A and B are shown apart, each in its own frame.
Chain A
């Protein structure tokens, strides 16, 4: 370390040394030059908002005006609280790189550090006699500092950095007049740097905002379009989603599936912003595909979970509920993956209750979870209110658990001609007051209006013969339900006037057909549903078994060959022995239908 015993040359109280007095004309010329430089700085400031460009132009001008060998600008890194060489002009490339990459000055260290710490300009007329000079830079670069001026760059009371000019070209050292000029110059530089920085931040903000805008529009494009069609008579849907930021983490989707079934999805992605929006887009598109492929909500959710869990979006997951409403019967099948409970409002007495669910974990975390389908019978006018936690937490500022109580009370108080969704939004916003919405908030109300007239139109069998007797079962194929199926078979056979022997056969055939579905279409899963309908007309007793296929593995959804259903084909052989007609149809979206017909020809004539 160098030590200079003679020091103390600080701005304001230093000697002015004019080694070679200039003549009057020369001095005037110099003043004009310097003044015009200052005007030029002003021009640069207003001409460019690019930080690098501003610094380069301003410092080039500084070097020229100050007639300096080199000049540097050091900016304060607010994180480390150190000064870094942002730009150096006049030195060799190698020197510039060393300064920029290797040299960091603490506040107080060296002349620049001293200037920054004390927010005062420093004039070092002779570096050899000033011990504030940091020799590390010279040692590292091989540059030799004779004289320098350091001026703090301060704008709006904020320290931005320090500007330095080093070694006057035409004289031994800088003087007080040089210092004053450089100070004036640097005030402008500070403003320029500040402007450029502000602009840079603004540009970054704008870029982000553009990205968000794009993400938001992608997200909007995934919102379902309004449904229209004759099914509209059978239900009413109302949805509102208010993202806390431009791009939200909530999603909902709805569409009609074949067989007059309404599919509705509500979900909440953990996380917000662009990543969450893209994840959502993936969830929605896979859901739309799977819901058409598989019938059972549990099967759809299981498949969706496996697919998301295999994905690469680290740490992303989603909670959600898939609802499937049978518009003919008011049967709601649903599967909940870690989502908060929904409400059911009964039209009959205005009762509002939480819908209990067998909720599995959120989707996309662990593969091969066993999500279960729950079922719920609703009546005409009953509605299901789905929500995301933004609704509950808005009321739950102290994280106390009274959010649901308030919500239930509110939903109960909404009269028939009011919109529940609108009332809740109103209430939440009133409750939150002026506070910024912190969580996305989504509400969706699904009301079943009853089966309307649709049923006659969609079921041609019934339309053909309104006089016929029919029974429809929607069951899980457990041991007790198999007994029920046999009893119903016996009774229908009896109503058809079949003999005891024929009844035994009919019962056996129906049982065998059910057993086939359980063993081969459902892989022995007794929780899966099977729809069985018995139709008795004048000339025939017909039974239709509607199953929803293999379900858990879309690759395996193939029409199963009825003759291959039972090892040895005994079950199918029995069916064929008993029944007069066997018809089999397969649909990827609707599952499989096996229709067994027993003809009653002679009786029809009697």
Chain B
């Protein structure tokens, strides 16, 4: 059950689009991709999650790590298109105020 991960550059931002369930088994793939893109020091890195209907704590931890690393490189990590279950995880984790969360990709780019 691996994730489907696509990367594109648009309007000066790097967009990682994720499709599938992010759990203990699939989160390492996402982590790797975020690391790879972070190295390129993008000004804006958007993780697009509209096709992720499940994320567990390992997915949350992966995004927290990405946020820390990119912030250190003066970049901005944004999350876009969170489904209800994913929003909930962030809320349970009290991380919904820590991340820049946008309703959709357009919002995150804008």
Whether B84 lies near A508 (C-beta < 8 A) is no
B1 to chain A, nearest CB (A): 5
Q: Is A466 at the interface (CB under 8 A from chain B)? A: no
Taking a contact as CB atoms closer than 8 A, the residue among A501, A515, A571, A578 that contacts B84 in the complex is: A501
Give how many A residues have a beta carbon under 8 Å from the other chain's beta carbons.
Answer: 26
Chain B contacts with A in 37-69, Cβ cutoff 8 A: 54, 56-58, 60-61
The residue in chain B whose Cβ has the minimal distance to the Cβ of A479 is B25
Q: Is A475 at the interface (CB under 8 A from chain B)? A: no
CA distance A518 to B25 in the complex (A): 11
Q: Is B18 at the interface (CB under 8 A from chain A)? A: no
Over the window 496-525 of chain A, the binary record of Cβ atoms lying under 8 Å from chain B Cβ atoms (1 yes, 0 no) is: 000011001101100110010011000000
A515-B56, A515-B58 as given contacts; A574 in contact with B21, CB under 8 Å: no
Q: Can you list 14 A-B pairs, Cβ within 8 angstroms, ordered by A?
A: A479-B23, A479-B26, A504-B85, A504-B88, A507-B54, A508-B88, A511-B23, A511-B56, A515-B56, A518-B24, A519-B24, A570-B61, A573-B92, A578-B92
Taking a contact as CB atoms closer than 8 A, the residue among B1, B57, B88 that contacts A515 in the complex is: B57
Whether A483 lies near B84 (C-beta < 8 A) is no
The residue in chain A whose Cβ has the minimal distance to the Cβ of B23 is A482
Q: Is B89 at the interface (CB under 8 A from chain A)? A: yes
The residue in chain A whose Cβ has the minimal distance to the Cβ of B56 is A511
Chain A contacts with B in 48-102, Cβ cutoff 8 A: none
A residues with a Cβ closer than 8 A to B are: 478-480, 482-483, 486, 500-501, 504-505, 507-508, 511-512, 515, 518-519, 566-568, 570-571, 573-574, 577-578
A562 to chain B, nearest CB (A): 14
Taking a contact as CB atoms closer than 8 A, the residue among A480, A501, A511 that contacts B1 in the complex is: A480
Known: A504-B85, A508-B88, A574-B92. 15 other contacts (CB 8 A): A479-B1, A479-B25, A480-B1, A483-B1, A500-B84, A504-B84, A508-B56, A508-B92, A512-B57, A515-B23, A515-B24, A566-B57, A570-B57, A571-B56, A574-B56
For the complex of A and B, the 9 pairs showing the least CB-CB separation, nearest first, are A479-B25, A504-B85, A571-B57, A570-B57, A577-B92, A479-B1, A515-B24, A511-B56, A504-B88
B83 to chain A, nearest CB (A): 9
Interface size class of B (residues with CB under 8 A): 10 to 19
Q: Is B98 at the interface (CB under 8 A from chain A)? A: no
Whether A574 lies near B1 (C-beta < 8 A) is no
Whether A505 lies near B24 (C-beta < 8 A) is no
Whether A508 lies near B61 (C-beta < 8 A) is no
Whether B88 lies near A570 (C-beta < 8 A) is no
Taking a contact as CB atoms closer than 8 A, the residue among A479, A501, A571 that contacts B88 in the complex is: A501
B5 to chain A, nearest CB (A): 16
Whether B93 lies near A570 (C-beta < 8 A) is yes
B85 to chain A, nearest CB (A): 4
The residue in chain B whose Cβ has the minimal distance to the Cβ of A514 is B24
A571 to chain B, nearest CB (A): 4
Taking a contact as CB atoms closer than 8 A, the residue among A479, A508, A567 that contacts B85 in the complex is: A508
A483 to chain B, nearest CB (A): 6
CA distance A411 to B25 in the complex (A): 46
Chain A residues near B92 (CB-CB < 8 A): 505, 508, 573-574, 577-578
Chain A residues near B21 (CB-CB < 8 A): 483, 486
Chain A residues near B89 (CB-CB < 8 A): 508, 574
CA distance A567 to B25 in the complex (A): 17
The residue in chain A whose Cβ has the minimal distance to the Cβ of B55 is A508
Chain A residues near B88 (CB-CB < 8 A): 501, 504-505, 508
Chain B residues near A508 (CB-CB < 8 A): 56, 85, 88-89, 92
A479-B1, A500-B84, A508-B85 as given contacts; A574 in contact with B57, CB under 8 Å: yes
CA distance A571 to B21 in the complex (A): 16
Whether A570 lies near B60 (C-beta < 8 A) is yes
Chain A residues near B57 (CB-CB < 8 A): 512, 515, 566, 570-571, 574
CA distance A568 to B85 in the complex (A): 21
The residue in chain B whose Cβ has the minimal distance to the Cβ of A519 is B24
CA distance A501 to B89 in the complex (A): 10
Whether A574 lies near B84 (C-beta < 8 A) is no
